[in-house]
């Protein structure tokens, strides 16, 4: 297989540059023809589709003005880098650039008219520009369409004959050489490395174990089509998150399956090998470095402490248990109402620590006053992480009383039990949906934050704090697992709204920052985690489809279902009136507590407790009295 591809793959850099010049020259020639044809058609249409009706003076003006306009068009397109695009990667961005380029072109055309003082019909300019713009845009998108059709036809014709998986390896360094050596020596694999991509242009034309280095990341899509690549391996563990994102964004447009090596910090001292390869995940496309925390501070906080995690079997709770267990606590208590979740994290920690961890797993509900009190009194935890809550927005809209019973009253009962048991630090896991909430779940978590602030003012020996963050990738019930399941089933993938955005962080990152924030706790703070830039859910869905080797809206349909009850387009992290203070960790901020009457609040909590038990349909009205910023979204 290596001999078969060698003659056409062993290209020096100058040949690849020559190919780019050739492609660009063809597009430039097409652009010139478009200018000539578009403005001639504009004249032709103006004079009733009759060449003989066109006055000689207009034809003469057309003939001597066109060369100048062609030069202007090509120069401006070059300045806007419209001849530099990776043709198979043309997207909406190139369309926007084309609009900007044409805005400049129109100004230039108008200037030439006044400077050279020539006269043409007004429709000549209008129709000519519209036709030319449409054709120029069409040229750039047609290449992608043709390449896609060619690739689909080739795959369908060759798929039955050839089961060999041709592999492109990105990275011509040490990691890439190890991957290539293993692939070539493994007699049981159908994967054959046929080319290598490396951004070091001095390596182009060289070989690794007989596999040629043929181009840089800018050539990935072109070369993936040329070599019929069905699998891409990103073997650059030292790459920055931004570089990795850039490369993967190009790779996902090839239609090939993409795998990657973990980053250097994830590999630690483990050797690079094929067994370490994993499928590319959405987190790889976030484009930022992994969040780091001061492990020594967290270690000092958790070491030799008895720690209770409510909701310890959930997505956040279980990761809290994992990270706490790694910091040598005196005792870790998992408290959850769902026995299956609790059992899974219990068994995972038992397998990992082989009895070296003092682990207690208890089943119970934070809504049960006697149960939570007895657990607190029996184990006397030093630190409580309260992660137990109902979190699904649409479900809580339909069962608001349950949200109040579990989230609000469960938090209140757990917080009071902690005070009576002498807990030193109580940490509430909150959400960005508590900011100007439009749904009952968010409003219930805002009340929980108010409970934390009130309890801190009224309890001398316990520090109460809340940590607020957005969505976590891969958590139970989040969009990513849902999208993956829908893709596996062949679609459609359902997105509530094309413009909906959310803040995202990985579960380990969010929990690491929760632990770090807890270290800063003095009492009464609402810690706000910087979740980075917001992400469009529509983009997430499309990227997941592409990472699976499918094409959005072609292989897998995307259906927009409309915003769900209580859902809003944009989540916020901090209420304006709270202000913001910085901490030693630049990703953790502190919201200033809002002043409130504690006695009035306690009376309102008592009323809310009664109303929630009665399944009062006006429960949202009671919540609005307590949280004035809660404005239910009208559906």
Torsion of Cα atoms, 344 then 350 then 351 then 353, to 10°:
140
The pLDDT assigned to 318 comes to: 92
Most confident listed range (147-151, 263-267, 528-532, 624-628): 624-628
Instruction: Give the domain 163-280 fold.
Output: Rossmann fold (3.40.50)
The pLDDT assigned to 320 comes to: 92
The model's confidence at residue 11, banded by pLDDT at 50, 70 and 90, is very low
Look at the alpha carbons of 238, 240, 245, 247 in this order and tell me if their dihedral is positive or negative: negative
The pLDDT assigned to 601 comes to: 93
Bridge partners (DSSP) of residue 170 are 197, 234
Higher pLDDT, 577 or 587: 587
Q: Domain-by-domain residue ranges, the chain?
A: 13-155, 163-280, 301-474+506-533+566-626
Which tokens is 589 given? 């901020």
Mean pLDDT across 251-274: 65
Mean pLDDT across 98-115: 91
Asked if 163-280 and 301-474+506-533+566-626 have one fold, the answer is yes
Beta-carbon count within 10 A of 605 CB: 19
The pLDDT assigned to 247 comes to: 86
Most confident listed range (413-427, 434-448, 575-589): 413-427
The model's confidence at residue 51, banded by pLDDT at 50, 70 and 90, is confident
The pLDDT assigned to 634 comes to: 61
Check pLDDT > 90 for residue 584.
Answer: no
Check pLDDT > 80 for residue 483.
Answer: yes
Instruction: Collapse the DSSP code of 129 into the 3-class scheme (helix H, G, I; strand E, B; otherwise coil) and give the result.
Output: helix
Chain segment 425-475, per-residue pLDDT in tens: 999 999 888 888 888 999 999 999 999 999 999 998 999 999 987 766 655
Most confident listed range (65-69, 257-261, 472-476): 65-69
The pLDDT assigned to 531 comes to: 65
Chain segment 393-402, per-residue pLDDT in tens: 888 988 899 9
Active-site residue 155, yes or no? no
Mean pLDDT across 120-134: 91
Higher pLDDT, 551 or 136: 136
Check pLDDT > 50 for residue 9.
Answer: no
Q: Which residue has the tokens 């929980």?
A: 448
Instruction: Give the domain 301-474+506-533+566-626 fold.
Output: Rossmann fold (3.40.50)
Q: Which residue has the tokens 């057309």?
A: 62
Check pLDDT > 90 for residue 141.
Answer: no
Given the residues 433, 546, 573, 604, select the one marked as catalytic.
433
Which tokens is 296 given? 């020594």
Chain segment 153-186, per-residue pLDDT in tens: 655 555 444 567 889 999 888 888 888 888 877 6
The pLDDT assigned to 527 comes to: 85
Chain segment 543-578, per-residue pLDDT in tens: 788 777 777 888 888 988 887 665 667 665 554 445
Most confident listed range (206-220, 299-313, 572-586, 604-618): 299-313
The pLDDT assigned to 572 comes to: 59
Pairs from 552-560 (Cβ < 8 Å, separation ≥ 24) = 555/491, 556/486, 556/487, 556/490, 556/491, 556/492, 556/493, 557/491, 557/492, 557/493, 558/491, 558/492, 558/493, 558/494, 558/495, 559/492, 559/493, 559/494, 559/495, 560/494, 560/495, 560/496, 560/497, 560/498
Q: Say if residues 70 and 35 touch (Cβ distance below 8 Å).
A: yes
Scored b (16 or more CB within 10 A) or e, 231-261 reads bbbbbbbebebeebbebbbbbbbbbbbbbbb
The pLDDT assigned to 577 comes to: 46
The pLDDT assigned to 286 comes to: 61
Residues 6 or more apart from 168 whose CB is under 8 A from it? 193, 194, 195, 196, 197, 220, 223, 224, 227, 229, 231, 232, 233, 256
Mean pLDDT across 584-589: 72
Q: Report residue 95 CA to chain centroid gap.
A: 23
Mean pLDDT across 529-546: 77
Check pLDDT > 90 for residue 41.
Answer: yes
The pLDDT assigned to 138 comes to: 84
Mean pLDDT of the chain: 81
Angle at alpha carbon of residue 441, lines to 436 and 446, rounded to 5°? 50
């Amino acid at each position: 297989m290596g001999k078969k591809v060698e003659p056409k793959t062993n290209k020096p850099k100058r040949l690849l540059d020559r190919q780019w010049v050739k492609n660009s020259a063809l597009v430039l020639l097409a652009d010139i023809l478009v200018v000539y044809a578009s403005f001639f058609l504009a004249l032709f249409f103006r004079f009733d589709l009759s060449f003989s009706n066109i006055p000689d003076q207009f034809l003469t003006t057309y003939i001597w003005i066109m060369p100048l306009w062609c030069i202007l068009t090509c120069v401006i397109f070059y300045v806007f880098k419209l001849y530099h695009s990776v043709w198979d990667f043309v997207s909406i961005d190139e369309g926007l650039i084309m609009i900007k380029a044409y805005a400049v072109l129109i100004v230039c055309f108008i200037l030439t008219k006044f400077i050279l003082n020539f006269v043409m019909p007004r429709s000549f300019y209008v129709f000519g520009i519209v036709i030319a713009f449409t054709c120029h845009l069409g040229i750039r998108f047609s290449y992608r369409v043709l390449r896609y059709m060619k690739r689909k036809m080739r795959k369908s014709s060759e798929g039955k004959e050839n089961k060999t998986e041709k592999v492109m390896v990105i990275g011509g360094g040490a990691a890439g050489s190890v991957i290539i050596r293993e692939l070539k020596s493994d007699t049981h694999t159908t994967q054959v490395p046929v080319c290598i991509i490396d951004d070091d242009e001095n390596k182009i034309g060289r070989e690794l174990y007989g596999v040629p280095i043929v181009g840089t990341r800018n050539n990935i899509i072109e070369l993936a089509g040329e070599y019929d690549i069905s699998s891409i391996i990103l073997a650059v563990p030292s790459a920055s998150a931004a570089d990795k994102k850039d490369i993967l964004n190009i790779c996902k447009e090839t239609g090939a399956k993409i795998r990657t090596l973990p980053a250097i910090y994830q590999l630690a001292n483990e050797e690079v090998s094929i067994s370490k390869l994993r499928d590319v995940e959405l987190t790889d496309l976030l484009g930022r470095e992994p969040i780091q925390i001061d492990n020594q501070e967290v270690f000092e906080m958790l070491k030799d402490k008895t720690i209770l995690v409510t909701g310890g079997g959930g997505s956040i709770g279980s990761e809290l248990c994992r990270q706490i267990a790694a910091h040598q606590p005196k005792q870790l208590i998992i408290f959850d109402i769902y026995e299956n979740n609790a059992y899974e994290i219990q068994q995972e920690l038992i397998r990992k620590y082989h009895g070296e961890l003092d682990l207690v797993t208890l089943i119970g509900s934070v809504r049960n006053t006697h149960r939570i009190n007895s657990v607190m009194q029996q184990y006397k935890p030093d630190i409580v992480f309260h992660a137990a809550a109902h979190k699904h927005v649409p479900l809580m809209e339909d069962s608001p009383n349950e949200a109040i019973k579990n989230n609000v009253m469960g938090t209140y009962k757990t917080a009071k039990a902690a005070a009576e048991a002498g807990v030193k630090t109580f940490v509430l896991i909150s959400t960005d949906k508590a900011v100007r909430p439009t749904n009952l779940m968010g409003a219930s978590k805002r009340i929980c934050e108010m409970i934390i602030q009130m309890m801190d003012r009224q309890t001398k020996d316990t520090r109460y704090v809340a940590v607020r963050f957005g969505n976590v990738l891969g958590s139970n019930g989040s969009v990513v697992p849902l999208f993956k399941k829908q893709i596996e089933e062949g679609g459609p993938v359902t997105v509530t709204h094309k413009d909906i955005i959310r803040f995202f962080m990985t579960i380990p990152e969010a929990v690491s920052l929760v632990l770090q924030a807890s270290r800063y706790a003095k009492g009464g703070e609402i810690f706000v985690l910087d979740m980075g830039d917001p992400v469009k859910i529509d983009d997430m869905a499309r990227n997941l489809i592409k990472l699976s080797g499918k094409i959005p809206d072609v292989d897998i349909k995307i259906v927009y279902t409309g915003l769900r009850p209580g859902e809003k387009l944009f989540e916020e992290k901090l209420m304006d009136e709270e202000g913001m203070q910085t901490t030693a960790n630049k990703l953790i901020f502190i919201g200033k507590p809002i002043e409130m009457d504690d006695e009035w609040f306690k009376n309102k909590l008592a009323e809310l407790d009664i109303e929630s038990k009665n399944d009062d349909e006006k429960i949202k009205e009671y919540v609005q009295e307590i949280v004035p910023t809660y404005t239910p979204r009208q559906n």
